[in-house]
Each structure stands twice: as structure tokens, then as C-alpha cells.
Amino acid sequence: MPQILHGLAVQTEILTSLQPRIAKLTRPPGLAVMLAGNDPASEIYVRTKIKACADLGIFSEKIAPPETATTDELVAMVEDLNRRSDIDGILVQMPLPKHVDSRRVLEAVAADKDADGFHPINVGYLVSGRPAPRSCTPAGIIEMLKFYQIPIAGQHAVVLGRSDIVGKPMALMLLHQNATVTICHSRTQNLPEMCRQADILVAAIGRPAYVTADYIRPGATVVDVGINRITDVAEGLRLGRTEESVRKGKAVVGDVHPLDMARVAGAYTPVPGGVGPLTIAMLMSNTVELAELHQNAG
């Protein structure tokens, strides 16, 4: 039987470890979350993040500019948050409305308030191995592998996907843990063969159930970062979801075929319930770390 890598146990350990650090601070850490527009998935994510803050004793503030807000207006709001002493971390929920220059808004966040670890300065610190906020999802995956005592050093890790949010920082973090890392993407030739070489396969390509048994070496550890909603009943049944869950809009699958993953992998993250809880946990961790930085500097 494969080992199922549930995220909630890891999340609980991370959040529990933050509580004494928060208690030592002179004021609660502060996180501002900017949500522009009316994307339903984004609204759910933001609610989850704000609830996690409340449960931990982190002050949170939701900034909700209208869908019509311009790039300049959003940048001005971020700059106001940069100046506030009660805000330690700023998160700009993606995606922003299509007319907005997302890069300008993200890069307006001060590097020492970058709760998501996306700022070019913090990415540079990641490359050079210096302390800084880390991109939450890949950082959570490293914590999960450690929690479940999955060996990383000396292992061949294949990262499927090259996004700035997951793929690239994931490859760097695995490299810092002494894995041998291959990055694959849509232009990679012989993709199944390349992925089959992996001791650890991280799938973050954004295509539902794209990675099938042909991509997985028997016994490998598979980390499925994707979350894709299934609306077609026949497809849902083929992927092991119930007709009821599809009709209620609750059927989700990752980037890896769930039945193939359970059959071939030695260990794997389920979707949902695998990587998702860790992204929240590492956002909280980044916010506490930034609060410590600010209060020690003050």
C-alpha cells in the first residue's frame, strides 16, 4: 500500500510551532490581503487565509478594491500598506483583473513585507541561499517531505512545471536540500520518460489528470500541486469521483491521474488535502518571521 501524505498533520505541526513565537512579540503580527475583483476561487482562498490568521492570533486586514481599479490605484494602495507599522506582510491575491499590470503591483510590495516570497529581491535571496520569505507552496512541500521522512538528499527530483510561483522556486529548494533536480515543461521531449526517472516527482503543470502511470516510476514519491474542478460527470467517474460530487461542483482532481497515482506511487499527496493546507501554513510562517524581523529591528 502506498503512503498517503496528508497535509493537515504537517499544517498542525507548523502552526503549533508558531504559537510561542507569536506570544513573544510585543504586538500581533499583521497581514494585509488585497483582493481585487470578484473571482469566486480567490474569495474562498482569502477567507481561508483570514480564518487561519484569526485562529493563530494574527491581525489581518482585507483590502478589497473594485474590479475597475487601475494599476496605479492598486500600486498606491500597496505603497500605503508598505508604510504602515502594524502590517508585517502583504499578500496580493492572484489573479488580478485582466487590465491590471500584475507584475507592477506585485513588485510594489516592499521586499521586507513580501508574505508570498515573490519579490525579485527575495527570489534572489532564495537563489543564493540567504534567509528571506519563501514561496509558500514549494516551502510547504519541503516541510511535508521532511515531516514524512521522505529522503531528499541524493535523490533525483523532477519538477513538472516552470512557473515563478511553484516550479522554479521548487527546483531551487530541492537543490538546496541536495537533490539532483530536473525541470520539465510543455516543450520537454520524451516527457513521460523524463518523469519516470524521478525518485520525487512534483507535478505543477495546471492540467487535470495529465500525469498518468506512464510518467511515474513504481515506488516513486509523487507530489501533486494541481487542483482542477471537474464539471463533466463522465470524466469525474473515470477519475474516481462520484456523480454527486461533480453535480455539486465539489469534484476536484490534481495534475496527476488519481487512480494511477494510488496504484503506482510509493507515496503521494491526495487532492484535495495534500499540498493545499501547507500553502496556508507557510503564509502564516512567513508573516510571523517578518513580524519578528520588524520588531527586532525596531
18 in any annotated domain: no
Percent of the chain at pLDDT above 70?
Answer: 100
pLDDT (0 to 100) of residue 175: 98
Tens of pLDDT, residues 139-196: 999 999 999 999 999 999 999 999 999 999 999 999 999 999 999 998 999 999 999 9
pLDDT (0 to 100) of residue 224: 97
Least confident of 162-166, 173-177, 220-224, 225-229: 225-229
Is the pLDDT confidence value at 50 over 80?
A: yes
- CATH code at position 250: 3.40.50.720
291 in any annotated domain: no
Distance CA 82, CA 73 (A): 14
Q: Do 190 and 84 fall into the same domain?
A: no
pLDDT (0 to 100) of residue 172: 98
Least confident of 13-27, 84-98, 224-238, 277-291: 224-238
Tens of pLDDT, residues 2-13: 999 999 999 999
Domain region containing 217: 136-276
How many domains are there within the chain?
A: 2
Q: Do 58 and 94 fall into the same domain?
A: yes
Q: Which of 88, 114, 116, 224 is catalytic?
A: 116
Q: Which of 11, 93, 155, 177 is catalytic?
A: 93
Where does residue 30 rank: exposed (0-12), middle (13-18), buried (19+ CB within 10 A)? Answer: buried
Q: Do 82 and 188 fall into the same domain?
A: no
Structural domain ending residue among the three candidates 80, 112, 144 = 112
Annotated active-site residue 155? The verdict is no
Annotated active-site residue 49? The verdict is yes
Q: Do 104 and 140 fall into the same domain?
A: no
Q: Do 76 and 163 fall into the same domain?
A: no
Q: Do 149 and 246 fall into the same domain?
A: yes
Q: Which of 11, 49, 113, 168 is catalytic?
A: 49
Query: How confident is residue 249, by pLDDT bands cut at 50, 70 and 90?
Result: confident
Annotated active-site residue 177? The verdict is no
Read off the pLDDT of each residue in 32-37 and give the average, rounded to a whole number: 92
pLDDT (0 to 100) of residue 298: 65
- CATH code at position 38: 3.40.50.10860
Q: What is the mean pLDDT of the chain?
A: 94
Q: Do 182 and 107 fall into the same domain?
A: no
Percent of the chain at pLDDT above 90?
Answer: 85
